[in-house]
Amino acid sequence: MPAVGGIPTGPGKEYPGNLTPYVIVTCVVAAMGGLIFGYDIGISGGVTSMDPFLLKFFPKVYRSKHDDSSTNQYCQYNSQTLTMFTSSLYLAALLSSLVASTVTRKFGRKPSMLLGGLLFFAGALLNGFAQAVWMLIVGRILLGFGIGFANQSVPLYLSETAPYKYRGALNIGFQLSITVGILVANVLNYFFSKIHGGWGWRLSLGGAIVPAIILTVGSLFLPDTPNSLIERGNMEDAREKLKRIRGLENVDEEFNDLVMASELSKQVEHPWRNLLQRKYRPHMAVATLIPFFQQFTGINVIMFYAPVLFNTIGFGDDASLMSSVITGLVNVIATLVSIYGVDKWGRRFLFLEGGGQMLICQIIVAACIGAKFGINGNPGELPNWYAIVVVLFICIYVAAFAWSWGPLGWLVPSEVFPLEIRSAAQSINVSVNMVFTFLVAQIFLNMLCHLKFGLFLFFAFFVVVMTIYIYYFLPETKNIPIEEMNQVWRSHWFWAKFMTEEFSNGNVEMLKGGQALKNV
Ligand code: BGC
């Protein structure tokens, strides 16, 4: 039996390819897609802790926050419309990522990115000028549509453009830009909340047009990926693009394999129905479980609601916004660690280490909050050291997420799907991520009100389950060319039995065909 998650020793391929400036610039622009996503994740929590914003749109929440300071702290923000404001975006993103699958497959990765940028631009404008709650919510829905398109296409774009040896690091550019987006949002919230006249929230929400413009303009200049050009029959164009991306004259081997993979995928008429076939079980497990688990780390409780959470545990408004700037900074820095290590230490190591670290922090934070707030949510005076300990462990938790489940939650799915199901499976990945992001955003304030400090233990439980899943069921994918990925499943102790003979033979036949193609 092969070792759990071991790296297969197959007829490994070495495609030549450099980290050309062309690849880097391309990836940087494409990763801007992550920026719009991150900006939104970070902006809503800060805005909803600004009094003028609450007073204008959610006066009931404002009153419960201020009028009666003796009420249960755990429940002060519990409001359906307020949660709807935050979470409507994710529902919209879910729907549009499904549409994006077809656009991405039929027209290329580029148009999806462009559409993402444009929708996002419209949403940001509507939010910045909002006069009523409906404008806020419609704006968030447009932003969500934009995110669906961007998140469906950008990770695919990155994984397909990168030379395989650097695929992990380049793909994490996407996550890095998510974290930069969150940090920028946190910093801007901090400053805009101080604007006299209380209209700073308009700048916070409207500021989203900046990343939207970068993505829109950037996507006009990006080339489409060779994989996608081949898939759409533009062979010569694809070969030229591959040469430019790799910085080499001779890209025959990789090109032929891409053509092969594409031929193989053309035999598939119904990518969606196909996903249900037995041989795609391992891929479907990745496409559904990875995003589900990523959200059940509980990270977005911190990302969306950090200021609200810090406010709840006794920080003033200013200190709350400041603390979320600190967690935002930790998030960015720890993502850099992941970029450094992902192709060296591998995906599994980061997942397992990150899981352990998150678990310990969640238990400590639950204990701290439980000890002071107890069941009735009335902490009395909170000493300074207490706040420091809570923020410290929240930071260590965020760091763990940021070098494990954060980036790998996007990287691993984007690299394990074979081309014939790649676009559809990636849509499933994004939709599942969005469903659970929505769910966590929607139920968090309510859960905080009812589960109290137990909320952190709730997520800790899932961290245990996901770590077990990784240990037994996720093979290592570092340094494996993306079109060679089937090998990984075929040598896995559990998933091997799903990889049917017919499938492996199919590949062998295609490989033979590839030899012929070389002479074309
Ligand atoms: C997740 C987001 C999360 C972010 C935090 C992303 O990978 O998908 O839900 O808010 O990481 O950095």
Q: Which of 247, 277, 243, 270 is nearest to 258 (CA)?
A: 243
Best probe residue, ligand 1, of 302, 303, 339, 410 (max atoms within 8 Å of C-beta): 303
- How far is the C-alpha of 147 from the C-alpha of 93, rounded, in Å? 6
Distance CA 348, CA 404 (A): 9
Closest atom of ligand 1 relative to the 433 alpha carbon: 8
Look-up of token digits 């006009």? 220
CB 362 within 8 A of CB 460: yes
pLDDT tens digit sequence for 260-277: 777 776 766 676 788 888
Which range has the top average pLDDT, 13-17, 59-63, 91-95?
A: 91-95
178 Cβ closer than 6 Å to some ligand 1 atom = yes
Which of 45-54, 193-202, 375-384, 460-469 reaches the highest mean pLDDT? 460-469
Q: Which atom of ligand 1 is nearest to the CA of 331?
A: 12
Q: What is the pLDDT of residue 66?
A: 74
Distance separating alpha carbons of residues 248 and 107, to the nearest angstrom = 27
CA 178 to ligand 1 centroid distance, Å: 7
Convert the pLDDT of each residue in 41-69 to its tens digit.
Answer: 888 877 887 889 988 988 888 887 776 55
Token pair for 43 = 């902006």
**Does ligand 1 lie within 6 Å of residue 327's CB atom?**
no
Does the beta carbon of 41 lie inside 6 Å of ligand 1? yes
Taking CA atoms only, the protein residue closest to ligand 1 atom 4 is: 406
Rounded Cα distance, 192 and 181, in Å: 16
Residue 224 CA to ligand 1 centre (angstroms): 26
The whole-model pTM stands at 0.81
- Residue 177 CB less than 6 A away from ligand 1: no
What is the residue with the minimal CA distance to atom 3 of ligand 1?
300
The answer to whether 142 and 119 are in contact (CB under 8 A) is: yes
- What is the tens place of the pLDDT at every residue in 153-198? 877 777 777 777 777 777 788 889 999 999 999 899 889 988 988 8
pLDDT number for residue 333: 97
Please indicate whether residue 325, judged by its CB atom, sits closer than 6 Å to ligand 1.
Answer: no
Instruction: Supply the residue whose CA is at minimum distance from atom 12 of ligand 1.
Output: 179
Q: Which residues contact 69 (CB under 8 A, 6 or more apart)?
A: none
pLDDT band at residue 287, thresholds of 50, 70 and 90? very high
* Distance between CA atoms of residues 190 and 12, nearest Å: 51
Q: For the chain, count helices (H), then strands (E).
A: 23, 0
Q: Which atom of ligand 1 is nearest to the CA of 182?
A: 12
pLDDT at 241 over 50: yes
Determine whether the shortest distance from the Cβ of 409 to ligand 1 is under 6 A.
Answer: yes
